[in-house]
A and B are shown apart, each in its own frame.
Chain A
Amino acid sequence: MIDEGRMREVARDLLASGEVDCVIGYARGSVWYRARPVAISDPDKVDMLIFNPFCMQNLATWLKFEMKENGGLQGKYGVVAKGCTARALIQMMQENGISTDDVYTIGVPCPGMVDPRKLGDDVLAMEDARVTLAGERVVVEGERRKVFSRDDVLHETCLLCRYPTPPLYDVLIGEGIEGRPAEDKNLAHLESLPAEERAKYWEDAFSRCIRCYACRNACPLCYCDGCALECLDPQWVYRSVEVSENTLYHLIRAYHLTGRCVECGSCEFSCPADVPLMELNRKMARDVERMFNYVPGMDPKAKPLLGAYDPRDPEGFIL
């Protein structure tokens, strides 16, 4: 478990010394199985900060809102960063979305996040509970105590995580954790399906989409001004919510995230319709890795995949 006291101390020092203007972290939610992002500027308020197994959102996303609404970052931000959060920040630096001077990374090695839905309705019905991750076990202690296997209740994206510790940080709270990704059975299964069945799978998934744009908005790397999805002239995607337009919407997003997605899973977590968005993103990420030996969000000085040319790049699709 993360030493929350140490994390608060770091945040307090950063704010009190003026090193950062604002710390973006997590706070308790209105119910025990939710956490929420919080922006703190007052060093006396750092006790709000928590880090528990429900801190799913990627906080790099909140830099994007700062940029969008204020025409750029207003000062320096401390960001509580899991591995995926730090990778998103690195990717944003790589793309010149933000600079290394804008951010102080408060690294937290992340043991993975619990998917509340996997705990079951009876557990969620508890008025209050505390959840801890201990090795292979997830322990829920409330009116009743219940123990789950980590593999059964973590978000799939966390079970597959290879970089739980930030590749880059200004301070690390506690010891780094080695990634031990599970085998990606879902992706392997999808890839083994005949094309028609794969098409059917995605048609079903996309037809559930209600086009609320939560996936895009929760994504730290969907930060473009004038998103292609809202462009009216030309209008690439109609607003009609039907499978053709929904498919186009998700494919445009998947392509725009190819070589950029850091696999934080915020999109899938935010989706109210259970669209398996990460399966799409992972497929693209694995292909990119295989073809170009490239993993995004690891080195702020690296060139973005699609911004670099290497004569050795495979070009099998041309011939």
Chain B
Amino acid sequence: MAEWWFMEPDAFHAFIRELGERFMLYAPARRDGIVTFTFVENHEDVELSKRPFTSPKAAFLPQTEVLLKFSLRGERVHLSPAQRPESPIAVVGIRPCEAGALKLLDPVFSSPPEDVHYTLRRENALLVGFACTSPERWCFCTSLGSSPFDEDGLDVLLVEVSGGYCALAVTERGRRALEVVRDMLRKADEALLGEIEERRRQAERAMKTLDVERFIARLEDMGDDPIWEEIAARCIGCGICTYLCPTCYCFDIQDEAGLTSGRRVRVWDSCMYPEYTLEASGHNPRPKRVHRVKNRIYHKFRWYVDLFGLVGCVGCGRCAEHCPVNVDIKEIISEVVRR
């Protein structure tokens, strides 16, 4: 079934509803006028029209997660491990770049010792992707080896076409998921295939290509370049770029406890915060914004390459789109390459 299938809006809703029966649905949904990725109870809340400001990484690495619970009775301490997920997760509406981002998180959490909190969710998940027919101006996935219709890493790829959606089963798991609504699907005809192709071309044409390879090479001897001071001078050191980034994964672990019981939680953390590296002695190896800004860029574009042979950025552009002081990664790449 490695071919395109057409589904009318009804069939699409039936598909989502059926997924909801077997999976925990994680999808873009509108809440108080804002579209965010969230666990949805009602399949009708799923809204694919707008890319959420958050990335779907939280399905696998929740912003707040209980690692273990404990009870305290004097010298007696009892630990209870975190609960295992009950049903697998289906992420609906994940964009190709975001599926690519999960492939970047995988080596971090699966390398020994395996982080089962992440890997258990990830192993059984179904990724129903949504092709980007109109990429945002901040996007540059084509500069990072991906594209708005990239199927890699997905189980199913959906493309919006006139009158509904076309679905492509990318994996066996995806094929089985579509099988459930088989009766409501019809094979995409020549006209639809042509439309998909045209939309793909349009989306790809809309994106400028940046020379990321050269950027990475240039970073080698740019550790002391004034550009980092220039960027850091306006950075307010908030967590937006890292929290909205689909590939950032840094976390903190803290205890939250009363007198006799409590829990140990993992929460997202950000390398842009000074407290992130501040030691109890008061010593801070990255005391200034310039150190932190540089660390973020170098981590993604050099050290990730050193560690895993992969670039730690997928070009979704969220960090730039939502930065309150317009730190724009595309501009940084162009500027460094231009020099």
A–B contact (CB under 8 angstroms): yes
Among B50-87, those with CB < 8 Å from A are 53-54, 63-64
Of B233, B238, B256, which one neighbours A212 at CB under 8 angstroms? B238
Chain A minimum-CB-distance residue to B278: A230
B-contact 0/1 string along A35-69, CB 8 Å cutoff: 11111000000000000000001000110010001
B267 within 8 Å of A (CB atoms): yes
What is the CA–CA distance of A53 and B33 in the complex, to the nearest angstrom? 25
Knowing A31-B137, A61-B236, A272-B244, the reply to whether A208 touches B64 (Cβ < 8 A) is no
What is the CA–CA distance of A36 and B34 in the complex, to the nearest angstrom? 25
One of A82-90, A103-111, A238-246 at the interface = A238-246
The answer on a CB contact under 8 Å between B63 and A217 is: no
The answer on a CB contact under 8 Å between B256 and A240 is: yes
The answer on a CB contact under 8 Å between B326 and A269 is: no
Of B54, B238, B289, B326, which one neighbours A29 at CB under 8 angstroms? B326
B270 within 8 Å of A (CB atoms): yes
Knowing A36-B234, A272-B240, the reply to whether A30 touches B330 (Cβ < 8 A) is yes
What is the CA–CA distance of A38 and B31 in the complex, to the nearest angstrom? 35
Chain B residue contacts of A216, Cβ below 8 A:
238
Report, as a range, how many residues of chain A touch the other chain.
35 or more
Of B64, B322, B325, which one neighbours A242 at CB under 8 angstroms? B64
B143 within 8 Å of A (CB atoms): no
B260 CB, min distance to chain A CBs, angstroms: 18
Chain B residue contacts of A214, Cβ below 8 A:
236, 238-240, 324
Knowing A31-B137, A208-B31, the reply to whether A69 touches B243 (Cβ < 8 A) is no
A260 within 8 Å of B (CB atoms): no
Q: Which 5 A-B pairs have the closest CB atoms?
A: A270-B324, A214-B238, A212-B239, A30-B328, A36-B326
A114 within 8 Å of B (CB atoms): no
B337 within 8 Å of A (CB atoms): no
What is the CA–CA distance of A270 and B238 in the complex, to the nearest angstrom? 10
A162 CB, min distance to chain B CBs, angstroms: 24
A318 within 8 Å of B (CB atoms): no
Knowing A30-B320, A240-B265, the reply to whether A35 touches B234 (Cβ < 8 A) is no
The answer on a CB contact under 8 Å between A36 and B256 is: no
A213 within 8 Å of B (CB atoms): yes
B331 within 8 Å of A (CB atoms): yes
The answer on a CB contact under 8 Å between B267 and A240 is: yes
Chain B minimum-CB-distance residue to A242: B64
The answer on a CB contact under 8 Å between B254 and A218 is: no
B252 within 8 Å of A (CB atoms): yes
A152 within 8 Å of B (CB atoms): no
Chain A residue contacts of B326, Cβ below 8 A:
29-31, 34-36
